[in-house]
A and B are shown apart, each in its own frame.
Chain A
Amino acid sequence: LAKTTQPISMDSYEGQEVNITCSHNNIATNDYITWYQQFPSQGPRFIIQGYKTKVTNEVASLFIPADRKSSTLSLPRVSLSDTAVYYCLVGDKRDSSASKIIFGSGTRLSIRP
């Protein structure tokens, strides 16, 4: 199973850059790395996905080193509204891999004024 390890919680302040690192030592060749954000009592929301190197969108950046055994989600200039739980997942997009993706407990990010 593609298991990930990420910090249980992190604290930061408004305006800071936040980096959340995820470890996935047994990532497979066809696995992509995906990050989701979840607010209380809401469904997770896709943030970003990548396979290697760097991916950037309007919300975040995702840094993936060459060995792909870890990844870092970078949130620039966070605000109070970024307080949420962030999940790192690794998994194949092929149907044959379904049920092998695990949503761990995620990282609870708290942003303070």
Chain B
Amino acid sequence: DADVTQTPRNRITKTGKRIMLECSQTKGHDRMYWYRQDPGLGLRLIYYSFDVKDINKGEISDGYSVSRQAQAKFSLSLESAIPNQTALYFCATSDAGQGDEQFFGPGTRLTVL
């Protein structure tokens, strides 16, 4: 079984809808991250969490919110989706800080119409 899983893998939604992307990990890591990737570009950090009680904004947090329900679960929400949030979203975990080896999930492809 994969160490980092994401659900759903693909989602098509309409402008204004609320969407939640979920991430689960079995690596036992405290640190979890949400990234966004647009076609042909690198990954940009949306939010990160060092433990259950810690949530931090990344480079592009506007329009997004997160919830760390447990050590193993980190959810990303789009409260009111807009078309320019169409992208590939990745969850990642690490044992130490962000500069340590990160383990990525398979990604969620989100399309906002």
Cβ-defined contact, B42 with A43, below 8 A: no
Tell whether A92 is near chain B: CB-to-CB under 8 Å. yes
Interface mask (B52-92 → A, CB under 8 Å = 1, otherwise 0): 00001111000000000000000000000000000010101
Is B44 interfacial (CB-CB < 8 Å)? yes
Chain B contact patch, size range:
20 to 34
Contacts of A93 in B (CB 8 A): 96-97, 99-100
Given contacts A41-B88, A43-B106, contact A101 B99 (CB under 8 A): yes
Q: Contact: A91 with B101, CB < 8 Å?
A: no
Q: Is the CB of B90 within 8 A of A43?
A: yes
Q: Do most interface residues of chain B lie in helix, strand or loop, or is the interface mixed? A: strand
Tell me the complex Cα distance, A103–B46, Å. Answer: 12
Instruction: Report which residue of A45, A97, A99 has the largest number of chain B beta carbons within 10 angstroms of its beta carbon.
Output: A99
Q: Is there an interface contact between B107 and A97, defined as CB atoms closer than 8 Å? A: no
B41 within 8 A of A: yes
Which one of B97, B102, B104, B106 contacts A94 once the chains associate, using CB atoms below 8 Å? B97
> By the criterion CB–CB under 8 Å, are A97 and B90 in contact?
no
Q: How far is the CB of B14 from chain A (nearest CB, A)?
A: 23
With A43-B90, A98-B56, A103-B35 already in contact, the answer to whether A31 and B101 are too (CB < 8 A) is no
A13 in contact (CB, < 8 A): no
CA distance A22 to B110 in the complex (A): 31
Partner of A98, one of B40, B42, B98, B105: B98
- When chains A and B are docked, how far (Å) is the Cα of A91 from the Cα of B35? 16
A94 to B44 alpha-carbon distance, docked (Å): 19
Known: A43-B105, A95-B50. A103 touches B98 (CB 8 A): no
User: Which of B90, B96, B102 has the most CB atoms of chain A within a 10 A radius of its CB?
Assistant: B102
Contacts A43-B105, A87-B42, A98-B31 given; 15 further ones with Cβ under 8 A? A32-B100, A43-B4, A43-B106, A44-B102, A46-B101, A49-B101, A90-B99, A91-B98, A91-B99, A93-B97, A95-B98, A98-B48, A99-B56, A99-B98, A105-B41
Residues of A within 8 A of B (CB): 31-32, 34, 36, 41-46, 49, 87, 89-106
